[in-house]
């Protein structure tokens, strides 16, 4: 499907941005040259934390510059806990991120799906998980890592409240919407 592929490094400041030139074979058999940029930030994992007895979910709120640049007036986003794999196993990643961001130390996680979140421009695959939390698993305040300049607020909502926030537009993050819909459709909470 692709031949004569070449790439040019445009930036490696935070992650890697490359310009790719290649020939693509179309459905009619004709080869056409295409030029595209792809941003490689590594793969990630996200988790929806739930408490079945309380019918609640834990989410986070933090500033996201790209959303601010695209019309989100305060740049704050409500999201499922997530992070980059950094060479780690996805399940290990979500357990680590859960403790860093929310302060809960969980062991059992269940992978429910994986998805390309923006396949037109970003190489990332996101592994999506669910995991139960209970009050006794709280080991710290969470909030993220200071050395990563994270300032994360931990939020607890009923599943119904969170779904209403999706409907109202208060929750606009794709991974979070997918995980909340999964939880609702599958009776997780």
27-82 pLDDT, tens digit per residue, is 999 999 999 999 999 999 999 999 999 999 999 999 999 999 999 999 999 999 99
Residue ranges matching CATH 3.90.79.10 in the chain:
44-185
- Residue 136 backbone phi and psi in degrees, to 5: -70, -10
pTM equals 0.92
Instruction: With a cut of 80, say whether residue 145 has pLDDT above it.
Output: no
Q: How far apart are the first and last CA of the chain?
A: 44
141 confidence band (pLDDT: 50, 70, 90)? confident
Q: For the domain 44-185, what is the CATH superfamily, name and number?
A: Nucleoside Triphosphate Pyrophosphohydrolase (3.90.79.10)
């Amino acid at each position: 499907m692709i031949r004569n592929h070449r790439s040019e490094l445009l930036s490696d400041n935070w992650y890697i941005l490359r310009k790719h030139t290649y020939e693509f074979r179309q459905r009619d058999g004709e080869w056409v040259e295409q030029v595209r940029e792809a941003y490689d930030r590594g793969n990630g994992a996200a988790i929806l934390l739930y408490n079945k007895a309380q019918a609640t979910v834990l989410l986070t709120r933090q500033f996201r510059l790209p959303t601010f640049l695209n019309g989100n007036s305060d740049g704050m986003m409500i999201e499922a806990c997530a992070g980059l794999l950094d060479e780690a196993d996805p399940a290990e990643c979500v357990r680590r991120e859960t403790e860093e961001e929310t302060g809960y130390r969980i062991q059992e996680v269940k992978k429910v799906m994986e998805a390309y979140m923006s396949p037109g421009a970003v190489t990332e695959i996101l592994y999506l998980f669910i995991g139960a939390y209970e009050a006794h698993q709280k080991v710290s305040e969470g909030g993220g890592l200071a050395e990563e300049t994270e300032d994360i607020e931990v939020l607890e909502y009923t599943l119904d409240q969170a779904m209403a926030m999706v409907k109202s537009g208060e929750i606009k993050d794709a991974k979070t919407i997918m995980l909340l819909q999964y939880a609702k459709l599958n009776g997780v909470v």
